[in-house]
Structure 1
C-alpha cells in the first residue's frame, strides 16, 4: 500500500462529521494590542511573580496530581462561598472540559441540549461531538431572553441540559433574574449557569442554585486572571456534581496549574483590584464609544463590549492594520450582524483601541 492510500485508509477511521468540521479558530496576537479573547490584561506584581516562580520550583513534578487538586477544590469552594453542607465542586481543565463532561453525562438517544443564541459556541460544538441534538433559541434583537420562545422550546424539546450564560458571551449582558428563574422552573433537566465573567458582574447565580436543586454553576479562573492556567470549576448539589466527577479524568489538572491557582487564591485581593480596575475601564470605554458616530455599543456586565459598526469586516481589518486585535463576531449569528467584540484592556490599550477606531472610521468614511 502506498503512502497516499495508507493515509486515506487511516482518515476513513475518523468520524465523517469530525472530518467535515473546522477547528476552533485562535487568532495570533503577536505584536498587536490584544483585545480579542477576554483575557485579564494585568500580570502579577513582580514580587509576587518571583514568589510564584520559587513556589512552582518546589512542586513535585514526578508525582501525579492528587492532594494539590483536592486542596484547590476546597479553596475554590471557600472562595465562591459554596455552602458546606450538601454541595460539591469538581474541577475541569478550563470550562471547555466541563462542558464536554456535561454533554457526556446526558448523552443518550434523543437527549437535547439547549441554549439561547447567540451564546458561547462550545455548547453546540460539544453537543455535536456527543451526537446530541442542539437547539438554539434566538434572543430578542436587544439580546434579552425571549421568554415566550424559550418556554415554548423547553415545553416542546424537553432538554436534558439547558445552558444560560450569566452574563452572556458575546453580548455581555446579564439577563433578568426573574425570567431566568421561570426558565429554570420550566426546565425538566439540568440547568447550567455559565458564570465565566462573574468577577465583572453585579450579581451571581448562587441563590438560584440554592433555591433549585437542578441548577449547577460553572465558573473559570481564566477571567479571574489565570487564562494560561486552565482551571474551570462546577458547583451544585453533591448528588449531581458526583455524577460529573465520575467522568472527570483523574489527573486532568496538572500539579503546576493547581499550585499556581492556589497561590492566586491566597492573593485574591490583588485580582479583586484588577477586576475593579477593569470594571471602571469598561464604563469609561463604553462612554467613549457612545460618542463615535456610526458605533452602537451595548451594555455589558463582562470584561468585553459588543459594538455594531457599519462594516464589521472593514473595521476589523482597519484596527488590525493599526496594531489592535479584536474579535469579528458578525458571522456567528444573524443577530450579530456587523458586530465586533472588544475585550477590556488596560487604560493605554483601551486608548490605543479608541484612536485606531477613530482613524479607521475616518479612513473608511464610516459613517
Structure 2
C-alpha cells in the first residue's frame, strides 16, 4: 500500500472502516427468491409503451414539473389524508438517511424493535447517532411494555415501526402500535411507520391516521414502489403533516428523483390495476407456500403479511446451501439476530418459482 493511499484511508472514519457494507448476493443463474422483489415483469405491450414514453423524456434537462405530477398522482393513489404532504426519495433507503440527518442533534437517538430492517441502525451509525434496539416478543409480536419503557428512558428522536416487519413479515397488533405512538408523543419524538410491504398486507396505518388525525401529527408513513413492482426504479415516499414534511424536505438533495424514474412511476400508477393483479397473485401464492411449508417435517413457517415468509428449520446453513446447489437463492438470516437462529427468509415468487423452491428443499432439513 502506498504512503499516499494509506494517508488517504486515515481520513475515513474509524467506525466506518469497521462496518460491513450492505451485502447483495450474486443471483446469476439462480431462481432469485432472496430480496422480496415482485417476480412479475410488465406485459410485453406495456414494456413497449413504457419504452416509447421514456424515449421522449428530456434527459438533457434536470427533473422539472413531472416531479410535482408524480406527487399528485401518488397522493391520489393512496388517498392522501387531509393536512398531509408527500416527500419523495431515491428509494426509502435515502429517506431513512435523510431522516437521520434532519434529526441529528446532540445526544439524539434512533430506536426500533429488533429483529428489524438493518438500515434503521446503519443510517443512525453513519450519521453518528445512537441506535437502541428493543427485542420483539418470542412470537415476533411488538413488546409494547418494553418499547414504552425504552422510549421513556431514551427519549428517541425517531422510532421506527415496520408494518409489516422485515424479516419477520408480520403486522403488529394495532393496540400495541398505538401505545408506542402515544409514548413517543409524550417525549416529543417522531414515529416512522414503514409500510414497504403494504401491497401484500391486510391493513394500512393510513386508515388509523384518517380516523384519528390529531393523534398522528408526529407520525410519518413511509412507503416504497420497490415492492409495488418497481424495485429497479428506486422511488420511495414519506407521508406526514404538512409542517413536518416542509422541514424534512429541506435536507433532501435537489433533483434526487430522476426524470426517468419519475416517468416510470407515473406510468406504473396509470396502470395500477396491472400491479394490483400481480400483488393478488403473490398473496395467493404466499398462502399456498405457507401451507406447503407447514406440511414439511422440521419446518416452522411464521404468519406473513408481506411477500416473504420467515421459516425456522433445524439447520439453516445446510438448507440454504442445499437450495443454492439446486438453483434457488434465498436469504439465510440465522445470524442476523439471536431470535432468528435457524431461520431462513423466502421471497414469494411465481407459481413456477415456488414449485421449484419446494422441490429443491433438501429431503432432510
Q: Match of 1:314, SS?
A: helix
Match of 2:73 among 72, 75, 80: 75
Q: How does 1:45-64 map to 2 (within 5 A)?
A: 45-64=43-62
Q: Is the 8 A contact 1:181 1:208 kept in 2?
A: no
Alignment-derived partner of residue 192 in structure 1: 192
Shift of 1:148: 1.1
- Equivalence for 2:4: 6
| Residue 300 (structure 1) aligned with residue 304 (structure 2) | yes
Matched, 1:336 2:343: no
Paired position in structure 2 for 1:348:
352
Whole-Å separation in 2 of the counterparts to 1:263 and 1:276: 20
| Residue 113 of structure 2 is aligned to residue 116 of structure 1 | yes
Distance in 2, Cα, partners of 1:18 & 1:66: 35
Residues 128-277 of structure 1 correspond to what in structure 2 (within 5 A)?
128-187=125-184, 188=187, 189-209=189-209, 210=213, 211-277=215-281
Verify the 8 A CA contact 1:118 1:170 in the aligned structure 2. Answer: yes
User: What is the aligned counterpart of 1:126 among 123, 126, 129?
Assistant: 123
Give the ranges of 4+ consecutive aligned residues of structure 1 lying more than 2 Å apart after TM superposition. 207-211
- The aligned counterpart of 1:104 is 101
Deviation at 1:124, TM superposition (A): 0.2
**For each residue in 1:153-181, what CA deviation from the matched residue of structure 2 results, as whole angstroms up to 9, or x when unmatched?**
01111111000000000000000011101
Question: Which whole-Å CA distance do the structure 2 matches of 1:238 and 1:158 have between them?
Answer: 24
Task: Name which of 43, 46, 49 aligns with 2:41.
Answer: 43
- 1:323 corresponds, among 304, 324, 327, to 327
Q: Distance in 1 between matches of 2:235 and 2:74?
A: 10
Matched, 1:284 2:288: yes
Output the CA distance in 1 between the equivalents of 2:354 and 2:268: 26
Q: Check conservation: 1:107, 1:130, Cα contact below 8 A.
A: yes
Unaligned runs of 5+ in 2: none
Kept in 1: contact 2:143–2:176 (CA 8 A): no
Structure-2 residue corresponding to 1:65: 63
TM-score (norm 1): 0.96
Match of 1:310 among 314, 321, 332: 314
| TM-score of the two chains, using structure 2 as the length reference | 0.97
Q: What is the deviation of 1:322?
A: 0.2
Task: Tell me, in whole angstroms, the C-alpha distance in 2 between the residues paired with 1:271 and 1:199.
Answer: 9
Q: Is the 8 A contact 1:35 1:325 kept in 2?
A: yes
Deviations 1:237-288 (CA, angstroms, capped at 9, x unpaired): 0011111111111111111010000000000000000000000000000000
Question: Any idea what SS the aligned residue of 1:282 has?
Answer: helix
Q: CA deviation at 1:212?
A: 1.5
User: How many aligned residue pairs are there?
Assistant: 358
Instruction: In structure 1, list runs of 5 or more residues that go unmatched.
Output: none
Counterparts of 1:318 and 1:234, CA distance in 2: 40
Report the secondary structure of 2:357's partner residue.
Answer: helix
Give the match's secondary structure for 1:21: coil
- SS of equivalent to 1:260: helix
RMSD: 0.8
CA contact (8 A) 1:208 1:215 kept: no
Aligned equivalents of 1:322 and 1:77: distance in 2?
A: 44
Q: Do 1:192 and 1:215's aligned partners in 2 also have CA atoms closer than 8 Å?
A: yes
- Do 1:39 and 1:223's aligned partners in 2 also have CA atoms closer than 8 Å? yes
